[in-house]
Structure 1
């Protein structure tokens, strides 16, 4: 969904990607999460030359992983770079054939630490150069395999190193979309998918636990009834707002129009609020379901762990709401990824 048609990509409305993430996450959060991360690694390919893009993405069976954290160092050498580093939280690393990893580029006269003037690039590195360190021992999203990875003195050609300011090789509507807020929308869609799983599970338990005794069933509790009604309404509302804000960008991308800060703010704000409200609603479902929530055989227990893991991602943290608010009150947002 993040590749051009020449490589078998969809090149279509990004709302369809959001729907896919939500469906996958409603079945299993870790599957949706790895798919979402795989898509991000594919969108980074827009900055590659066409020959390099074909080399990295030409095999339709390949899977991709990435880390936008600048946790590696790339030393400039003739015809390329020598890359070394250790990256944390690289979701899907055990499945990946290619990795897109961000590094600080060091050359004569350039800054050697992160900060003002630092030269950061993304490097496309095959799995043969990557060592996986078994570090992912967690509760939520345990199936993502988000281990640490290590790269030691790997040579990367210049053609496989790009920056967020690199020219976009193939000019199509999808490649005109901003990477940052679209990625935030994808994370929000995952959260909504997990919320749907919690709602469906609670309703299923209510229908299964109908007894002939005089004691009230789970579905007879006022708190449960209210939670089901509230959660269904919240899910529909947040989904609609999220899709509407992304659809607006898509319409302008097709026309080649420049996005306003307010349009981008709409996506950032919708994403952050959808994810936050999904977490709050799932916690409420967990509470009203009572002792059922404690047992791993019921999905409510797992989705409660998963939603809290999803909300730890930096792309939907509260500071993006501040950035959106800056745009709404006429200030210029300062977040590095706000417009990227």
Structure 2
């Protein structure tokens, strides 16, 4: 049996990505022509409501696609993962959503919610002035979001404000050792007026009644970022297993695969990654089954999703570090594939959604106590 057309197109995209990932690192962003390829594959309609032409995808299915992209290039996987972030916009008024999707369901969202910047209330909405960081994917965005403080109506949660990209200045200051191609530049607003109906509470109650919008939005975004690390770690292990048998040491020592410590270390890393990955997808599938059956994700299920996402990000970083430590002097050279992967692997675990505090918060919920961090679901 032949492969379906969608599978072929996805594989062709990955082949092009493998050829161009160096270009994206040099640019420091994924260019619009490649984002258009991701768009054509439907990755930016997976969280668009069905009523507006979207094709919502079970989270685990989307996450597996992001993982495959990330195994070729972590930066592109990170930018593609923002297809999940349209779930945030389910809290927008329906009329605003209808206008947002009037041109079609494929919408690329980017922006910087933090640090939240003060906004001056106006008769119709807000006047924005400020500078926001980490606007990943902003160079090819259809709509941008920036963060302003919450108020009495938001229960302390920040408010996101949608702005057309042409009304913001992009400051290309992304100079990092990991995820170099995400284009996570700063964005600046100068006296930008925005109507209130183009704002939403991040993690607020959605006005859309579809299964995906009963899946916790902040948790889904955390998962979509964590799974990038899984792709990066997979690439490191694939590299180790592929090259291990072919290179002898400069001292005349046996090829890596002939050394017991290398074989055992790579095998242990393989088992460690697969174990963390299995927990991650198990938690996602269990929660999706609950909402697909018409129910809700319980606090306990959400805690397992947040815990498994944070754990996966940490384990993936450890796996890549282990591969590098076992690989000898070849891996210390600038431009070596493992050096790129090492830098990329560091980034997801540093995200606020995936940091060490998530272990404490999840543990608290599993023991029947409130989460110890804000925005846990």
Confirm or deny a common fold (TM above 0.5): yes
Q: Secondary structure at the match of 1:225?
A: helix
CA distance in 1, matches of 2:199, 2:253: 66
2:131 is the counterpart of 1:86 = yes
CA contact (8 A) 2:113 2:132 kept: no
CA distance in 2, matches of 1:215, 1:263: 50
CA displacement 1:286-329 (0-9 Å, x = unmatched): 01001121234532111001111222111100111101100122
Q: Secondary structure at the match of 1:311?
A: helix
- Please name the residue that 2:89 is paired with: 45
Q: Secondary structure at the match of 1:274?
A: helix
CA distance in 2, matches of 1:210, 1:165: 53
The change in CA–CA distance for 1:245 and 1:105 in structure 2 (over 3 A counts) is closer
Q: Secondary structure at the match of 1:292?
A: helix
Q: Secondary structure at the match of 2:149?
A: strand
- Please name the residue that 2:118 is paired with: 73
CA contact (8 A) 2:66 2:227 kept: yes
Shift of 1:120: 3.2
CA contact (8 A) 2:215 2:297 kept: no
CA distance in 1, matches of 2:205, 2:367: 31
CA distance in 1, matches of 2:244, 2:132: 44
- Please name the residue that 1:126 is paired with: 164
Shift of 1:158: 1.8
CA distance in 1, matches of 2:239, 2:339: 10
Match of 2:225 among 177, 183, 187: 187
- Please name the residue that 1:329 is paired with: 367
Shift of 1:123: 0.5
Q: Which has the higher strand share?
A: 1
Shift of 1:221: 1.6
Shift of 1:215: 4.4
CA contact (8 A) 1:38 1:66 kept: no
CA distance in 2, matches of 1:26, 1:105: 37
CA displacement 1:77-126 (0-9 Å, x = unmatched): 122211221001111112212111110268xxx8xxxxx97673110100
- Please name the residue that 2:21 is paired with: none
- Please name the residue that 1:267 is paired with: 305
The change in CA–CA distance for 1:324 and 1:167 in structure 2 (over 3 A counts) is closer
Shift of 1:336: 1.9
Where does structure 1 lack aligned partners over 5 or more consecutive residues? 111-115
CA contact (8 A) 2:321 2:342 kept: yes
CA contact (8 A) 1:173 1:256 kept: yes
1:241-260 residue pairs with structure 2 within 5 A? 241-260=279-298
Superposed CA RMSD:
2.4
The change in CA–CA distance for 1:131 and 1:315 in structure 2 (over 3 A counts) is same
Q: Secondary structure at the match of 2:127?
A: strand
Shift of 1:38: 4.3
The change in CA–CA distance for 1:225 and 1:141 in structure 2 (over 3 A counts) is same
CA contact (8 A) 1:25 1:31 kept: yes
Q: Secondary structure at the match of 1:202?
A: helix
Match of 2:206 among 165, 168, 193: 168
Q: Secondary structure at the match of 2:141?
A: coil
2:111 is the counterpart of 1:54 = no
Shift of 1:62: 4.3
- Please name the residue that 2:68 is paired with: 23
Count of residues in Structure 1 that have an aligned counterpart in Structure 2: 330
Deviation larger for 9-18 or 242-251: 9-18
CA distance in 2, matches of 1:251, 1:73: 40
- Please name the residue that 1:35 is paired with: 80
CA distance in 1, matches of 2:156, 2:369: 25
Q: Secondary structure at the match of 2:230?
A: helix
Q: TM-score, normalised by structure 2?
A: 0.81
Q: Secondary structure at the match of 1:35?
A: helix
Match of 1:156 among 179, 194, 210: 194
CA contact (8 A) 2:219 2:306 kept: yes
The change in CA–CA distance for 1:82 and 1:277 in structure 2 (over 3 A counts) is same
CA distance in 2, matches of 1:86, 1:168: 27
CA distance in 2, matches of 1:315, 1:186: 11
Q: TM-score, normalised by structure 1?
A: 0.90
Q: Secondary structure at the match of 1:337?
A: coil
